[in-house]
Chain A
């Protein structure tokens, strides 16, 4: 650790007693680097077994790593908690200014415990922690909350404002936390955990710095990384079209889940492609703090007032591949306009867009098959492409006018266990699927992944590699590829580097960065630490009831062929078995 680096300081906040204190934990950050590595150990320590995820005992852990604020694109913060959606490990990564703010405030991690009696928001400005009344903010949307706090709190530019919308307050199992309007701790229900603690928002700021022993070498390595980021063609793509560049190629490959995966290509793909969004609507690009890539794409969307001619409001709405997939293709919505309206509603309420889209896609099919009626949907006739109806349905997930919506607010896994239609309820390990119907590796990844995201072991890219090489994957091959990638991703998410920069942060670069920071770590050491972190995550998952042998696989995924041909249940189960075997045979850490 470099002199004066506050990374080992852990800030504890007890909402019940309104108390805060700092503990120095240098060993934790030495052995587990930071980020994911530190967070999982803190979670083991702070979360008692079998607690109710929405009870006061469930802690919220935020952690950053040693590279945050030090090297570019180390712009993410890790959140860990027990997930109200899956009942086991909740891990979610967010960007914006959150990571840099926590690091510059002088902490490596933040642990929030207990539950407040009345709505509050927390502000942490370096060493000053305050508990502030948020009664008046309760019930407000995520953007309005941000606006109020922005005016009220100091340190514009170097602060993060994390907040929840009504979905979090009402503890929808897949409510998210919005940070800086356009970034999210999206998956697995961190917003609901905030809501259960009556925690409306969290503001963090700081403006620290620390010295390097060898500033010259620091600048040399910094420049190497920075230049690679700025000149890499992959980064150029992220900057120009953003992740929505994926719509057309995935559609072409027939890997774009459409209409609840009844199809894997969408006849309206052209109308909602990254190219179309950029040409017609792109209004601005923004970046997370300390990232030159700037992949965040914001549409300028002009909405005419119905009662006033030539009078418009211009909404700035951020879009990404996953949102276009889940609120577009999955619901059969084939226009940018429809998707933007849905995104805005989801953002205001503070829902995870992927879970919302997949839940509504399942509900649509349920209604079309006559398994539910308009009584369940509160009079709505859900229909592919009808975004006006979906807008109301999204509101109902939060408002919960019927028992059906209350069930839907707990995700499709739960809702389908009550209402049927499990074979087309597209949740994996309890979490609604991401937008890649690329082959078996994607699905194995969703099922076993520690944070149930396509970004876990990058199954989609494993599939793609097999497809490109014209090879047929084996169950063993898939498991091995996923584990290898997963181990390394634990390191990247402990630093905490944005996965979009993974091509630049090779083991060699990471080891060099660590040496500059005063740690003697070889590439092999890093991979070993990655394996240990991964095991620790599965220990937590299994402790909380995750079982490799009991995963529900919706049979719908076997019906549409993938670019690698049809996926079979035997293959997936076999591959999961191998995954477990490799994981358990990893040397003890």
Chain B
């Protein structure tokens, strides 16, 4: 399964982003649903459309802050970076949402559990502008 491959999503160039959010819709569709509740990529304007967009994705941290604050070990480390959610263990405390430095732990309002990136790269295929790509964890950082 793709999830076991240690890839992660990176932002190639924020300035290419047109804010279409097709990536966000792709993310939820990956889980066989239409809409946004499962999405773990988030696009918002940088304070008004005129300033361009901010693309938020999970960084697949080697020491994930979200995992550290989880009281029930519902978030498990995934080698060499990132976490996997065990939904049955989650008690919906939202500690992980607050703890993520880049704001990439989202909340799935439909099931009332965190939405965690599964590092599959499905969204990449729906970005017509080459803003995001999938690459192995550790290979370069966002510099922009």
List chain A positions with a Cβ less than 8 A from chain B: 2, 69-70, 72, 100, 104, 126, 143, 146-147, 150, 156-158, 180-182, 206-212, 215, 218-219, 222, 226, 230, 284-292, 294, 298, 316
Contact = CB atoms under 8 A, between A and B. Distances in A.
Nearest to B127: A292
B65 interface: no
Contacts, number: 102
Nearest to A2: B34
Nearest to B30: A219
Interface in B23-76: 25, 28-29, 32-39, 42-45, 47-52
B126 A226 contact: yes
Nearest to B21: A289
Given A290-B25, A292-B128, A294-B20, A218 B34 contact: yes
Nearest 5 Cβ contacts at the A-B interface? A209-B35, A157-B44, A215-B32, A316-B50, A287-B20
B36 A287 contact: no
Contact of A290 (B20, B49, B128): B20
B18 A294 contact: yes
B141 interface: no
Contact of A222 (B18, B20, B29, B38): B29
A237 B29 CA distance: 28
B139 to A, nearest CB: 27
Given A215-B32, A290-B25, A298-B50, A207 B109 contact: yes
B22 A208 contact: no
Nearest to B122: A219
A289 B44 CA distance: 11
Interface of B: 18-22, 25, 28-29, 32-39, 42-45, 47-52, 109-110, 126, 128-129
A143 B51 CA distance: 13
Contact of A157 (B18, B29, B37, B43): B43
Contacts of A100: 21
A208 B45 contact: no
B50 A218 contact: no
Contact of A287 (B18, B33, B34): B18
B121 to A, nearest CB: 15
A285 B37 CA distance: 27
22 contacts: A2-B34, A69-B36, A70-B35, A150-B48, A156-B44, A157-B42, A158-B36, A181-B49, A207-B36, A207-B109, A208-B36, A210-B33, A210-B34, A215-B32, A215-B33, A284-B50, A290-B20, A290-B25, A292-B22, A294-B128, A294-B129, A298-B50
Residue of A104, A230, A286, A298 with most partner-chain B CB within 10 A: A286
Contacts of B49: 180-182, 286, 298, 316
Nearest to A157: B44
Contacts of A150: 47-48
Nearest to B107: A207
Contacts of A181: 48-50
Contacts of B37: 207-209
Contacts of B43: 157
Contacts of B34: 2, 69-70, 209-212, 218
A538 B48 CA distance: 39
A69 B25 contact: yes
